[in-house]
Chains A and B, each alone.
Chain A
Amino acid sequence: MKNTNSNMSIRRRSVLTGWSFVLLSVVLIFIFYFYPMIQALIMSFQTGTGSNLEFTGLDNYKRLFSDAMFFTAVKNTFIYLLVQVPIMIVLALFISVLLNDKKLKFKGFFRTAIFLPCVTSLVAYAIVFKYLFAGNGLVNTFLLNLHLIDTPIGWITDPFWAKITIVIAITWRWTGYNMIFYLSALQNIDNSIYEAAKIDGASAARQFFGITIPLLKPIILFTSITSTIGTLQLFDEVMNITKGGPGNSTLTISQYIYNLSFKYSADFGYAATVSYSIVIMIILLSFLQFKVAGDKNA
């Protein structure tokens, strides 16, 4: 970081000016981020319907640990997390390494095509996927015609396949997004490292695991943390593809909070308690990922 050699008089004059530049943002972020967080913490110790809340101590937290639907939502969310995030990151890494090849033709086309899903709104693509994966949808028709399956798969109606559909949908939407991060990081790697490795007779796989992965570690960490945070907040897709069904088999934590607050009889206090479980999970998982990746590089 270059030192701004501004002299002391300018410094002193600019103390107030400086704060006036940042003041509005600071106020808005405190009102619309930190204040609600504190409110949610207070509400998590209250119960009641709608706005008639009163303090009931740890009741909500006790309820949380015996709430089967909460555990279903947590389990589903973690299935998405553990299955989808690794698949997507490996796929995005693999694609970006292929695309980083200097001799590759049609590079621009491939990159644009794979990135294209990112321009769709979550709602729009979720509904397109719901139709493609419907009982009489195109995916089943295609698989039946190829004689890969004998009877249509219940992509939306079967508890197991509905989860698979959600995983496929999210992977489709976000792989290109992660790929862009890896591509821009790969472009910063000095090619002479690879040249040297080649002279030493290192295979492509050896180069990938020995050079590419270690150098991309900070950005892989960044994308896995953002993907984890994103998955813990999964809502739009599930809401529009399966509505959480069949029988809560695709319900996510965010959707459960939404249901508690705005669908069932407004149980704001308990909803706030459930929402704090996401906060705690995000903190724990981000911390864990930092530890696993070794925080020196991050």
Chain B
Amino acid sequence: MLKSKRFFTYLFLSIISFVSIFPFLWMVISSTNKSVDVTGGRLLPGTHMMENFRKLLETTDLQLSLVNSAKISITTTVLALLIASLAGYGFEVFRSRSKDIVFNILLLSMMIPFAAMMVPLYRMFANVSDTLPWMGVDTMTSVILPTVTTAFLIFFFRQSTKMFPKELLEAGRIDGLSELSIFLRIFIPTMKTTYAAAAIITFMSSWNNYLWPLIVLQSPETKTMPLLISILGSGYAPDYGMILIAIVIGTLPTAIVFFLMQKQFVAGMTGSVK
């Protein structure tokens, strides 16, 4: 009885794992095959990968989209970490009743659906397009600004600050450091893992962001990877091999980050509810 239960457990978990991994395998294998073979159901690696890649470079501006995505996600990540950790630290270290009220109001923003903000946000950026062209519609700034501050990340840093040893803080004050340099020179280096977790989460959601860039980026020169993939995938006569290699390339950065930093990644996802 016990043995058969064990067997069922392994069988069930193996099936679930297989289903989870299979689309990845299929996408990598298919990116090495001709389009005909992909539709023919071929499940063995082929020799067509370079050909698919070459076609992708010919039909799209892959490098440009990769650079756009990288610029946006890296800038967003650096700024988001700085802004949110300053605030999370501030709300916890300089705790007061009025700040707690403000903090709770900020948390309410997590309930606001993006669908309800996208039209006013679009109009805000469209309105400044003439006077401030560098932050109007179709600029990197317009993609970054609305996504750079999240109450979630502030909350995450506030929770982590509770773990920060108060003795270090006092020691810094006794040494005569200013509050800002305590933050910069003691807090940041001590909380490296917290920053790593936050960086991964922010980078991933920024790299994968679709709806807002779809609305605010309109010219081909500003397209990010998800937009490029979406456009390729919506064609009526898709070249499967070529599109799948684009998807593989678009997924690589986040997959690499995940495998290199799995522990921090999981800590980042669950950190908010500890």
With A25-B83, A110-B13, A124-B250 as known contacts, state yes or no: A43 contacts B120, CB within 8 Å: yes
| B134 is an interface residue with CB less than 8 A from chain A | no
**What's the Cα separation between A180 and B267 when bound, in Å?**
10
Give the residues in chain A near B273, CB-CB below 8 Å: 181, 185, 219, 222
A215 interface residue per 8 A CB criterion: no
Are B115 and A254 within 8 A (Cβ)? yes
Within 8 A of A (CB), among B78-118: 83-84, 86-87, 89-91, 93-96, 99, 102, 106, 109, 111-118
| CB-based contact A127/B17 at 8 Å | no
In the complex, which of the residues B109, B146, B154, B234 contacts A243, with contact meaning CB atoms closer than 8 Å? Answer: B234
Whether the pair A130, B233 counts as a contact (CB closer than 8 A) is yes
Asked if B57 is an interface residue, CB under 8 A from chain A, the answer is no
Indicate if the CB atoms of A4 and B115 lie closer than 8 Å.
no
A123 with B208: CB separation less than 8 A? yes
Task: Give the chain A neighbours of B13 by CB distance below 8 A.
Answer: 95, 98-99, 110
Of A4, A181, A286, the residue contacting B269 (CB under 8 A) is A181
Cβ B112 vs Cβ A235 within 8 A? no
CA distance A14 to B230 in the complex (A): 50
The answer to whether A261 and B119 have CB atoms under 8 Å apart is yes
Chain A residues near B24 (CB-CB < 8 A): 116, 120
Of all chain A residues, the one with the shortest Cβ separation from B13 is A110
CB <8 Å contact, B208 and A122: yes
Q: Is the CB of A128 within 8 A of B117?
A: no
Q: Which of A27-35, A60-68, A148-156 has 4 or more CB atoms under 8 Å from chain B? A: A27-35
CA distance A266 to B183 in the complex (A): 47
Say yes or no: is B197 at the interface (Cβ < 8 Å to chain A): no
Interface size on A, residues (CB 8 A): 91
Any chain B CB within 8 A of the CB of A80? no
Chain B nearest Cβ from A19, distance in angstroms: 8
- Interface flags for B15-36 (1: CB within 8 Å of A; 0: not) read 0110111011011000000000
The stretch among A159-167, A189-197, A277-285 that forms the contact with chain B is A277-285
Q: A51-B123, A119-B251, A124-B250 are in contact. Are A98 and B115 (CB under 8 A)?
A: no
Residues in chain A near residue B112, CB distance under 8 A:
33, 37, 279
Name B83's contact: one of A28, A39, A99 (CB within 8 Å): A28
Q: Is A172 touching B23 in the complex (CB atoms < 8 A)?
A: yes
Contact segment of A81-89, A131-139, A206-214, A289-297:
A131-139
Interchain CA distance A43-B17 in the complex, whole Å = 47
Contact B230 A240 (CB under 8 A): yes
Q: Given the interface contacts A22-B99, A116-B20, does A98 sit within 8 Å of B226 by beta carbon?
A: no
The smallest beta-carbon distance between B264 and chain A, in angstroms, is: 13
A-side contacts of B173, CB under 8 Å: 10
A interface, by DSSP: helix, strand, loop or mixed?
helix
Q: Which of B89, B233, B258 has the most CB of A within 10 A?
A: B233
A286 and B146 CA atoms in complex are apart in Å by 25
- Determine whether B71 belongs to the interface, using a CB cutoff of 8 Å to chain A: no
Q: Is the CB of B121 within 8 A of A18?
A: no
Given contacts A22-B87, A37-B117, A117-B20, contact A282 B111 (CB under 8 A): yes
B139 → A minimal CB distance (Å):
15
Give the complex CA separation of A176 and B18 in angstroms: 13
State how many angstroms separate the Cβ of A198 from the closest Cβ of chain B: 13
Q: How far, in angstroms, from A39 to B124 measured CA to CA in the complex?
A: 10
Contacts A119-B255, A121-B251, A124-B247; is A25 near B41 (CB within 8 Å)? no
Contacts of A170 in B (CB 8 A): none
A124 to B253, CA, bound (A): 13
Residue of B nearest to A168 (CB): B19
A273 shortest CB reach to chain B, Å: 10
Binding site for A on B (CB under 8 A): 9, 12-13, 16-17, 19-21, 23-24, 26-27, 38-39, 41, 83-84, 86-87, 89-91, 93-96, 99, 102, 106, 109, 111-124, 126, 145-146, 148-149, 151, 154, 162, 166, 173, 179, 183, 204, 207-208, 210-211, 215, 225-226, 229-230, 233-234, 238, 240, 243-244, 247, 250-251, 254-255, 257-258, 262, 266, 269-270, 273
Ordered by A's residue number, 26 sampled pairs between the chains whose C-beta atoms are within 8 Å are A21-B94, A22-B86, A29-B151, A32-B121, A32-B145, A32-B146, A32-B149, A34-B109, A40-B120, A51-B126, A95-B13, A104-B9, A110-B17, A121-B226, A122-B208, A127-B233, A128-B23, A138-B26, A181-B270, A181-B273, A219-B273, A233-B113, A240-B234, A254-B211, A272-B116, A283-B111
Known: A15-B94, A113-B16, A115-B266. 9 other contacts (CB 8 A): A14-B94, A17-B179, A25-B83, A36-B120, A119-B254, A121-B225, A258-B211, A262-B215, A268-B119
